Amino acid sequence: MTASMADLTFAIGEVAAMLGLSPHTIRAWERRHLVVQPMRTTAGQRRYSADDIELLRQIKHERHVHGLSMRVATLTAQGLVVPDDGQGAAGPPAPAMDGGADPLRLVADLVPEVVVMVDTQGRVAHANTAFARLCEVTVGHVRGTPLADYVDPFDRAKAVQAYQEPLRRRRGWELNLRTARRRAFFSFDCWPITAAEGPLVALVGRDLTAEAPPPEALDGAAPSGPGPLDGLPGGAFTNTLSALLDE
C-alpha cells in the first residue's frame, strides 16, 4: 500500500509546487516570520507535514485575497485574529462587527436555531443569519417582509396567532416553513418582547426535519456544504434564552 499523506512529509520543492510559491519565498517566511518549523532530515533538508502545508496555504490565501500583511495573515491563518470585516477568516467568517454592533446580535448570527422577530402586523423586524439562509435571501432582504411569505399556506393561520395574540401565553408553535427547495418543519418558542420600535414577538425555532432528511431533499439545498455550526447542540440558544427570560 502506498504511504498515506498522514505519514508522508514533503520536500520544499513539492511544497512550492503545491502552493504556487517559490522555495525562496517559503524559506523567507520561515526565517523572517517563523510561520512553520519543518522537520529536518539528518542531512539538514526541510521536510514539511500536511499541517505545515495547510497553514502555509491559508497564509497565502489571506495575503493574496485580503492583502493582509504577513504578520496579520499568519495570525489570521492560525485563528488567533478574527478580521473585523468578516471576510478574512480562513473558515466561515465571524459576523460583521459594525461600529457599536450589539454583541448579542452577533451571537444570534452564530447559533444554528432560526431567530426571527415580527411586529404585531406580522412583518419581520429582525432575523438572524440562519433564518435568512433557510429562506435563501440575505438578512437585509428579510426585514420588512411578511412572515406569512415564509410559512406554508396550511400553517398561516397559526402564524398569525403567534404574533397577533402573544399575550395568550402560548409559547410553543410548530410551523411548516416554505423555502424554495423544501418544506421545513420547525418548532418555535415565542416570546413577546418590547423593543425600541415597539412590541415584537421573538420566534426561536429548531428544525425538526433536520434529524434525518432524505438525500433527495438535500439536492442543492446548500450551495457550499455544511454550515459553520455543524455539531453544535441543537436548542442551546433556546435554552439560554428561556433561562434569561425566566429570571
Partner 1 sequence: MLAVETWKCGSAARFPVRDLIAALLDGDGPAAYELAERVLLETRSRTAVFADLLHPAQAEIGNLWYAGRVSYADEVRAAVHVRRIVERLAPTPEPRPVRRGSRCVLAVPHGDPHDVGLMMLSRALEDHGWSTELVGPARGLADLPEIVLSRRPRLFGLSAALLPPLAQVEQAIAAIRQARVPVLLGGVAFNRRPDLWRRLGADGLGTDVRVGVVLAGRLGGR
Q: Give contact residues for partner 1 (rule: CB under 8 A).
A: 1-2, 4-6, 8, 10, 14, 17-20, 50-51, 53-54, 57, 60-61, 63-67, 85-87, 89, 91-93, 95-96, 109, 129, 132-133, 136-139, 141, 180, 215-216, 218-228, 230
Least distance in angstroms from the C-beta of 232 to partner 1: 14
| C-beta separation of 50 from 5 below 8 A | yes
Least distance in angstroms from the C-beta of 156 to partner 1: 23
46 vs 156, beta carbon nearer partner 1: 46
Closest CA to 187 of 201, 199, 173: 173
Least distance in angstroms from the C-beta of 209 to partner 1: 16
Closest CA to 59 of 80, 45, 85: 80
| C-beta separation of 49 from 36 below 8 A | no
Within 13 A of 221's CA, how many CA atoms are on the CB side? 17
Q: Please, is 6 exposed, middle or buried when counting C-beta atoms within 10 Å of its C-beta (0-12, 13-18, 19+)?
A: exposed
Mark residue 96 as left, alpha or beta (left: phi above 0; alpha: psi -120 to 50; beta: remaining): beta
172 vs 215, beta carbon nearer partner 1: 215
Least distance in angstroms from the C-beta of 235 to partner 1: 21
Least distance in angstroms from the C-beta of 88 to partner 1: 9
36 vs 89, beta carbon nearer partner 1: 89
131 vs 173, beta carbon nearer partner 1: 131
28 vs 160, beta carbon nearer partner 1: 28
CA distances from 86 to 81, 94, 111 (A): 11, 5, 16
